[in-house]
C-alpha cells in the first residue's frame, strides 16, 4: 500500500460570510484525506484551477501567492526530509501538525512525542517503545506539562539535577534518560517544532557502573543445588534453570524468552539477538545441554517458560540468599557471569566478544577490567622470568 503523502490546493465551493471561497490545502494518503485551511479567501473567478494560484486580476494576488508558496515549500520540505531520512511514512496528522505549526512553542512536547511513538510503534522494538513511554512518564513527574518552549538548556540541566538529587538515580540512569530526551528533541527539531538544539552544549556523561556477577565458586554452588535436586520448589527450579542456562551461554533475558527449539542445531545455538539484530552462534557446554528439554520437544516450542522480570528477580534474590550469595542477583547478572567466568577460564576476549554478540570489542573489555583473578594469573607469569 502506498504510504506517500500527496497534496494540492483547492478552492472550497462553500462561501464564507463575506461571500468568498476559502482556499485549502488538501493532502491524501492511502485513500484518506485531510484538509488544512489557509488564511486566503477570494472570488471563484480569481482562482486558477490549473496553476492552483491566485490570478493577477486580484489586487492581493502577490501576497496571497506568497503565502501559498510558503505552504508549498514547507510541505515539500517535510515530505523530502522524511524520504531522505528513510523514516516511517508521515501520518496525515503529523503532516497537518507541521504545516499549521500546531503545538509549536505553546504546544505540548510530551503529547506530541507520545503521538509520534504510537504512530511509529510498528517500526520500533517493543522494548524500545515501552522504554520511551516510561521516559515520558518520568519526565512528567519532573514537570506536569512540558511544552516545546520549555525545552531549553536550563530545563535539561534542571532535569538532570532532579534525577540525581530528588529521584536518587545514578549517573548512568540519568544519562540514559537524557539520551532518550535528546532523541525526542531531535524528532521535534526535524519536524520544525523546536528551532534551536538545546543539547548543543550538553555533555551526557557515561560512567562505568558496577556490574554484579557470580564467581566460578558461586556459580558452581547454584549449579550443584539445581543438578543435585536441592531445589524442590517448582517455581524456583524453573527460574533457576533458565538463569543457569544464561550463565552458560550469555543470552540476554529477551533472547531467552524468544529462544525456540528450532534455534538449536548440533549442540549450537544460532539466533538473531533481539536487542541488536546481531546473529550469534554459541556452542553449548555439557552443563548447558543438561538444562535443555528432551528431544521430543516441538521445534516451534519455546525452550523455557520465562517469567516476567519482576518474578524472575524476586525468586533469584530468595535463592541466592538461601545459598549465602551476598550479591543482588538478577536475570542480567547471568550475562555478566558468563562474560567474567569466560575470561577467568582464559577464553580469549575476542571470542567472548563474539559469543556475547558485541559489535565493539571495547564493550567486552569492561569485563576484563573487573576480573582481578585474571590480572593475578597473568602477573604470575613474571615469576617464571
Which is higher by pLDDT, 142 or 279?
142
Residues with Cβ within 8 Å of 155's Cβ and at least 6 positions away in sequence, in order, are 198
Q: Is the pLDDT of residue 286 over 50?
A: yes
**What is the reported pLDDT for 374?**
63
Tell me which residue has cell 527460574: 239
125 phi and psi angles, rounded to 5 deg: -65, 145
Q: What is the mean pLDDT of residues 136-147?
A: 94
Q: Is the pLDDT of residue 80 over 90?
A: no
Of 36-50, 74-88, 101-115, least confident by mean pLDDT is 101-115
Q: What is the mean pLDDT of residues 315-340?
A: 91
Q: What is the mean pLDDT of residues 56-62?
A: 94
pLDDT-derived band at 101 (thresholds 50, 70, 90) equals low
Burial of 155 (0-12, 13-18, 19+ CB in 10 A): middle
Q: Is the pLDDT of residue 265 over 90?
A: no
H or E, element range at 313 = helix 309-322
Q: Give percent of the chain with pLDDT exceeding 70.
A: 91
Q: Is the pLDDT of residue 385 over 90?
A: no
**What is the reported pLDDT for 377?**
67
Q: What is the mean pLDDT of residues 191-213?
A: 82
Of 85-94, 176-185, 223-232, 302-311, least confident by mean pLDDT is 85-94
Which is higher by pLDDT, 128 or 44?
44
CA geometry: angle 133, 138, 142, nearest 5 deg: 140
What nine digits make up the cell of 34? 485531510
**What is the reported pLDDT for 277?**
78
Let me know if the fold of 101-190 is the same as that of 216-384: no
**What is the reported pLDDT for 159?**
97
Strand, coil or helix: 57: coil
Cα dihedral 357, 361, 364, 369, rounded to 10, equals: 170
Residue 354 in contact with residue 279, Cβ under 8 Å?
Answer: no
- Tell me what the pLDDT averaged over the chain comes to: 87
pLDDT-derived band at 237 (thresholds 50, 70, 90) equals very high
Q: What is the mean pLDDT of residues 292-313?
A: 82
Q: What is the mean pLDDT of residues 320-348?
A: 90
The fold of the 216-384 domain, in CATH, is hpI Integrase; Chain A (1.10.443)
Q: Is the pLDDT of residue 315 over 50?
A: yes
Q: Is the pLDDT of residue 288 over 50?
A: yes
Q: Is the pLDDT of residue 210 over 80?
A: no
Pick the closest to residue 208 from 250, 165, 175 (CA basis). 175
**What is the reported pLDDT for 121?**
84
- Indicate the domain borders of the chain: 6-89, 101-190, 216-384
What nine digits make up the cell of 279? 546473529
What pLDDT, in 10s, does the model give residues 239-262? 999 999 999 999 999 899 889 988
What pLDDT, in 10s, does the model give residues 354-381? 999 888 877 777 776 666 666 676 677 7
DSSP 19: S
pLDDT-derived band at 46 (thresholds 50, 70, 90) equals very high
Q: Is the pLDDT of residue 102 over 50?
A: no
Which is higher by pLDDT, 119 or 369?
119
Q: What is the mean pLDDT of residues 152-156?
A: 96
What's the whole-model pTM score? Answer: 0.60
Residue 240 in contact with residue 231, Cβ under 8 Å?
Answer: yes
Q: Is the pLDDT of residue 48 over 80?
A: yes
pLDDT-derived band at 103 (thresholds 50, 70, 90) equals very low
The fold of the 101-190 domain, in CATH, is DNA polymerase; domain 1 (1.10.150)
Q: Is the pLDDT of residue 71 over 70?
A: yes
Q: Is the pLDDT of residue 328 over 60?
A: yes
Amino acid at each position: 500500500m502506498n504510504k506517500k503523502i500527496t497534496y494540492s490546493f483547492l478552492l472550497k465551493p462553500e462561501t464564507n460570510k463575506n461571500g468568498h471561497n476559502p482556499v485549502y490545502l488538501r493532502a491524501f494518503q492511502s485513500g484518506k484525506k485531510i484538509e488544512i485551511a489557509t488564511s486566503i479567501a477570494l472570488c471563484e473567478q480569481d482562482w486558477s484551477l490549473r496553476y492552483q494560484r491566485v490570478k493577477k486580476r486580484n489586487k492581493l494576488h502577490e501576497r496571497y501567492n506568497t503565502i501559498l508558496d510558503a505552504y508549498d515549500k514547507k510541505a515539500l520540505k517535510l515530505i523530502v526530509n522524511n524520504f531522505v531520512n528513510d523514516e516511517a511514512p508521515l501520518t496525515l496528522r503529523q503532516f497537518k501538525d507541521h504545516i499549521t505549526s500546531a503545538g509549536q512553542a505553546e504546544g505540548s512536547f510530551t503529547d506530541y512525542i507520545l503521538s509520534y511513538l504510537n504512530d511509529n510503534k510498528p517500526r520500533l522494538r517493543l522494548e524500545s517503545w515501552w522504554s520511551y513511554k516510561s521516559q515520558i512518564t518520568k519526565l512528567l513527574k519532573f514537570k506536569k506539562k512540558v511544552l516545546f518552549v520549555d525545552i531549553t538548556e536550563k530545563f535539561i540541566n534542571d532535569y538532570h539535577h532532579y534525577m540525581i538529587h530528588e529521584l536518587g538515580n545514578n549517573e548512568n540512569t540519568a544519562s540514559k534518560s537524557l539520551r532518550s530526551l535528546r532523541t525526542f528533541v531531535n524528532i521535534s527539531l526535524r519536524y520544525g517544532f523546536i528551532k534551536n538544539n538545546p543539547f548543543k552544549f550538553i555533555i551526557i556523561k557515561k560512567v562505568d557502573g558496577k556490574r554484579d556477577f557470580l564467581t566460578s565458586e558461586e556459580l558452581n554452588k547454584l549449579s550443584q543445588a539445581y543438578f543435585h535436586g536441592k531445589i524442590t520448589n517448582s517455581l524456583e527450579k524453573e527460574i533457576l534453570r533458565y538463569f543457569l542456562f544464561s550463565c552458560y551461554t550469555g543470552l540476554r533475558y529477551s533472547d531467552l524468552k524468544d529462544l525456540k527449539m528450532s534455534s538449536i542445531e548440533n549442540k549450537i545455538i544460532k539466533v538473531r539477538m533481539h536487542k541488536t539484530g546481531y546473529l550469534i552462534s554459541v556452542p553449548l557446554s555439557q552443563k548447558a545441554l543438561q538444562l535443555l528439554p528432551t528431544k521430543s520437544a516441538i521445534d516451534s516450542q519455546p525452550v523455557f517458560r520465562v517469567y516476567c522480570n519482576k518474578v524472575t528477580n524476586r525468586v533469584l534474590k530468595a535463592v541466592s540468599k538461601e545459598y549465602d550469595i551476598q550479591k543482588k542477583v538478577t536475570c542480567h547478572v547471568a550475562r555478566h557471569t558468563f562474560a567474567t567466568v569466560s575470561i577467568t577460564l582464559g577464553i580469549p576476549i575476542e571470542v567472548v566478544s563474539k559469543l556475547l554478540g558485541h559489535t565493539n570489542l571495547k564493550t567486552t573489555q569492561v569485563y576484563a577490567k573487573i576480573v582481578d583473578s585474571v590480572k593475578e594469573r597473568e602477573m604470575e607469569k613474571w615469576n617464571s622470568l
